[in-house]
Structure 1
């Protein structure tokens, strides 16, 4: 894989009539972000014409992220402290001269900058073709030591999905699975060494409650017929009996009382006793726990395979060592952080972080370890195993204050601020909304994930049958292998189509089966169309096009497509910083919408594009594929 060096890039720009060398500024990365080439020249022009410091000029330039507002925009008051910025704008427009841009125009406090339709295709297409699969990837972000880039890459551990094996695979676990896979793909594309970790909720009192349920409702015969479903049915039965007791305990707690008496009776006591049997290593309790764990891991593995997702490690609360938990407790006690209250060992975080973090229990009154203690120990074990630079937890927002804020603060109190600073909770809205269409047909609380996927597949099959003109390029001849991949990609696109904080309904079949712009099906359709057109066209090297062929790319629609393609590295960098995959989907939707202005929707597949347009389509196809892979979408073998 070769990429243009700076001298080669400058030689290419010089051949297009640009002044070289490219103006040098510390903030720009001209070999990774083509918009930075524009920023470099624009900064140089502005600092000279406005007679200001280059840093001031650079900081006055913004990316509007909308081609209708220009390719770049200058905030005039930031460029000049002169109150009469109109005079500054007039001076700039009168003396502005650069072949890369057309003459800028003033729009209120903004000076809008647009690429020249003659220059943009000639400068951008060779840039994209030089990089191909690495266009939009910022490989330096994954380098641990820039003075020795050949050394180890940065290490990221991503914990995601992480269902509780006692209960159903909930919508929030599905969201975590899709978001987590995207985060892993994103960091890998930026050259990080990524470890995908599924930390199962396979220990603790929920498993104890399931154990009580098994002893009351379990059937070996039904377990043999459908083990996963039978375990889920048992959990719902015992949970239904337990809910009134939970409510009674909560009421006492909310009224400022001590629920110890309530929690020492009934299912509370049975649950706690069963979990104590597990922690004591009782053979019968451990045997059931192992069966439950094995059944669920097998079931989840099939689901993840269906989604095209793999994990480097299946871990869980049960895998945390007693030695690591003991070490955490000793550190906490040595620093005077823990105190005993009503038989429980806890940390009063109100003394260290105000009321918002409350009290964190390390061991309950039965002497059993808590989720928090196990997670603290897990952090130490993972850091020693992987020496990670960062660990990201992709978990619903409902656990931020109740768990992760406490976890991070306790690590700081343990004199481990560096370790705490390496941890990040990437949260998403924890709404359990499911589309009404799915809810009408399925009882989610008693439905296995593969059944929901099957319902989505039926809907997409029906949609393809109703839209044969869309189905033909999308499905091809091998629908047996292609349909499941199309369904998975449509699901991924729908889950990632809204910002993480938004309340977004899972499994919205009306969107999943739709070919409307911005949907997964529409995105896959346009990618397939490009593949078909490029395969049947003569593809020139971008450096071999004649002047007449270059001129054919100077039309308004073609230039607007190029104006979108030039943004892609800025889009990927923005998503890396914000971890908002909806930004990628919105961008890809804009690309396909603009593409539809050039390629009529009813144009027959197999049509041959001109060499210039085939070159443009191949560059677009590469960007679409890169963006889709960034989201975690699959392309088969």
Structure 2
């Protein structure tokens, strides 16, 4: 049995159809999946929850292979199934034509007027997010410990967490960025006792502690070696927990010194975050323990009170044998506060993969205690691998110490400056422009090198690789963006001129490389939607690199500004400048989501 090649052509203009996508970018693949799912459900009601996957096609713009999988259930020829789907497909502003190829592949061709309108809208409106249901999101990231310096181990949580916040904020969610500081516990007894010995007048004069790490080490040494000091340290803990004014003042001083040091890192990386330490949850922990006890969810284990969750292999220690609380207690109080008080609908924890078992148990216990209901609240543990040195071992200094984060950032600036001077950028940029370029490249490269990898894998930290102006690096992509922005500037065309041209005249796209570039730009909404599903950021980096690569193809084949042999401009192709502006706008938005500052000149 043979079938003719069924073709459905939609010939109406975009403005004549419903849903003209004028106010926001269309997530095309998601839209196509919805259309095919509804068409299949209507056409074949016997198919329960059809599985529809849309993919990019070599023969058309996109392709749907649902007919192949449905044919087995329907016991029909897949091409016949595909023909039936095509015949029953509704008119839609995104699609110009459907046809069949092979044994039943449905080829999808996008409407060119739709494509041109979407590209024009990027220039006129900027990158607009696809429609999203607004949710209250709490993101827990970075989370260093008071009295200890931020080190390379905090790098990934800080960078990944910040980029996730940028993504969700761009999509319209209400995001609370939380820094869960380790600012409570027995170690503060020894710190306060040491503080009282070293700076007796700390309550009236802020202690001049320039190196808090050294201060911590000195107090720890005394705690380990001096029994009398250890006794005073434990007494200090008791007084702190009883809110003794002098001890609380000492604790506040130590916390303030630490936060000021943390802020230096956050300022360099331009990261916004709200500090909320474990101390915030102390009274809530007491209430939580009573609730869990009253509900019969705790059981005694060698003097401890522990809790088992369904599916969690490791129990949580809710109360220690000495009556104190633990990180487990704190985490349980945290999730309760974030759901009940913050009204969190989506909670995200960004920590290393080594804590995965803890989070399994913690989430399981939260469900068992009826604090967290998966049907009402989404919870994600965003885990990541470790940072390795070029020797593929855990990243350390030459002396074997943990690398301080502030030192790493400073070295990045130094390396960036050397690289830019090597390329003689200091000779063409003003002093202010050069400093801005140095910082943007340094911090952008560090962030991008982290985010462009699958976060669950370890990655090798290499300044040489990060600062390479070739390949998929921030250095290359930032430079590529400045080159794109310079095209119109070199022609003497202002951004406002391009915008006015886009308003007045319909965009004309003729060359195949123009169409390819337009289609590539319009993949962004689908990439962003996909990021929210699994919170892996590297596909956005891959998209950014793809845009840059496709732009190079376009620029090599399509003259934007034509000059004569003397170098005088003889023609300015405004349609192509509009396309350049759309590319720059998309790239800038991608960088913004990644938390990377862009440059006009480099």
Q: Does 1:516 align with 2:470?
A: yes
Q: Distance in 2 between matches of 1:41 and 1:191?
A: 22
Deviates more, 1:612-621 or 1:271-280: 271-280
Q: Distance in 1 between matches of 2:347 and 2:453?
A: 24
Q: How far did 1:381 drift?
A: 3.5
- Which residue of the partner structure matches residue 248 of structure 1? none
Q: Distance in 1 between matches of 2:326 and 2:243?
A: 17
- Note if contact 2:120-2:582 (Cα within 8 Å) is conserved in structure 1: no
Matches within 5 A, 1:519-538: 519-535=473-489, 536-537=492-493
- 38 and 391 in structure 1: CA distance in 2 versus 1, 3 angstrom threshold: closer
Q: Does 1:230 align with 2:225?
A: no
Q: Distance in 2 between matches of 1:316 and 1:157?
A: 15
Q: Does 1:85 align with 2:64?
A: no
Task: Specify every segment of 5 or more residues in structure 1 that has no aligned partner in the other structure, as ranges.
Answer: 1-11, 143-153, 243-264
Q: Distance in 1 between matches of 2:431 and 2:97?
A: 44
Matches within 5 A, 1:101-250: 106=101, 110-115=105-110, 122-129=116-123, 131-134=125-128, 137-142=129-134, 154-207=135-188, 224=208, 226-231=210-215, 233-234=217-218
Q: Distance in 2 between matches of 1:450 and 1:233?
A: 19
- Which residue of the partner structure matches residue 267 of structure 2? 305
- Out of 276, 280, 285, the position equivalent to 1:319 is 280
- Note if contact 2:466-2:474 (Cα within 8 Å) is conserved in structure 1: yes
- Note if contact 1:331-1:414 (Cα within 8 Å) is conserved in structure 2: no
- Which residue of the partner structure matches residue 343 of structure 1? 303
Superposed CA offset, 1:98-141 (max 9, x none): 9955785736764444547x65753442343454242xx13432
- Which residue of the partner structure matches residue 331 of structure 1? 291
Q: Distance in 1 between matches of 2:587 and 2:299?
A: 56
- Which residue of the partner structure matches residue 379 of structure 2? 424
Q: How far did 1:444 drift?
A: 7.0
Q: Distance in 2 between matches of 1:381 and 1:44?
A: 39
- Which residue of the partner structure matches residue 494 of structure 1? 449
Q: How far did 1:91 drift?
A: 9.7
- Out of 371, 384, 388, the position equivalent to 2:344 is 388
Matches within 5 A, 1:486-635: 486-505=441-460, 507-535=461-489, 536-537=492-493, 539=498, 541-542=501-502, 544-545=504-505, 550=508, 553-600=509-556, 610-635=573-598
- Which residue of the partner structure matches residue 3 of structure 1? none
Q: Distance in 2 between matches of 1:290 and 1:74?
A: 61
Q: Distance in 1 between matches of 2:326 and 2:83?
A: 68
- Note if contact 2:310-2:365 (Cα within 8 Å) is conserved in structure 1: no
Q: Distance in 1 between matches of 2:268 and 2:278?
A: 25
Q: How far did 1:290 drift?
A: 3.2
- 216 and 44 in structure 1: CA distance in 2 versus 1, 3 angstrom threshold: closer
- 44 and 415 in structure 1: CA distance in 2 versus 1, 3 angstrom threshold: closer
Q: How far did 1:279 drift?
A: 3.0
Provide the secondary structure at the position in 2 that maps to 1:498.
coil
Q: Does 1:462 align with 2:421?
A: no
Superposed CA offset, 1:21-54 (max 9, x none): 3599xxx999641626983998599879xx9449
- 212 and 520 in structure 1: CA distance in 2 versus 1, 3 angstrom threshold: farther
Deviates more, 1:604-613 or 1:334-343: 604-613
Q: Distance in 2 between matches of 1:491 and 1:431?
A: 14
- 443 and 326 in structure 1: CA distance in 2 versus 1, 3 angstrom threshold: same
Q: Distance in 1 between matches of 2:97 and 2:152?
A: 50
- Note if contact 2:142-2:161 (Cα within 8 Å) is conserved in structure 1: yes
Task: Specify every segment of 5 or more residues in structure 2 that has no aligned partner in the other structure, as ranges.
Answer: 1-9, 564-568
Provide the secondary structure at the position in 1 that maps to 2:501.
coil
Q: How far did 1:522 drift?
A: 1.5
Superposed CA offset, 1:209-235 (max 9, x none): 767888999999xx8473234236548
The root-mean-square deviation of aligned C-alpha atoms, in Å, is 4.6
Q: How far did 1:306 drift?
A: 0.6
Superposed CA offset, 1:278-330 (max 9, x none): 4345677655533332221000011101101112x2110122232x2221111
Superposed CA offset, 1:526-580 (max 9, x none): 221222223433525335447xx72xx3222222111211211111111122211
Q: Distance in 1 between matches of 2:275 and 2:478?
A: 31
Q: How far did 1:378 drift?
A: 3.0
- Note if contact 2:27-2:524 (Cα within 8 Å) is conserved in structure 1: no
- Note if contact 1:22-1:41 (Cα within 8 Å) is conserved in structure 2: no
Superposed CA offset, 1:558-605 (max 9, x none): 22111211211111111122211101100010000111122359x999
Q: Distance in 1 between matches of 2:364 and 2:30?
A: 43
Q: Distance in 2 between matches of 1:406 and 1:105?
A: 50
Superposed CA offset, 1:158-209 (max 9, x none): 1111111244423332111111111111111111121111110111245457
- Note if contact 2:147-2:213 (Cα within 8 Å) is conserved in structure 1: no
Provide the secondary structure at the position in 2 that maps to 1:393.
strand
- Which residue of the partner structure matches residue 374 of structure 1? 330
Q: Distance in 1 between matches of 2:49 and 2:122?
A: 25
- Note if contact 2:52-2:64 (Cα within 8 Å) is conserved in structure 1: yes
Q: Distance in 1 between matches of 2:26 and 2:47?
A: 21
- Which residue of the partner structure matches residue 6 of structure 2? none
- 190 and 439 in structure 1: CA distance in 2 versus 1, 3 angstrom threshold: closer
What is the aligned length? 565
- Which residue of the partner structure matches residue 21 of structure 1? 17
Q: Distance in 2 between matches of 1:236 and 1:200?
A: 20
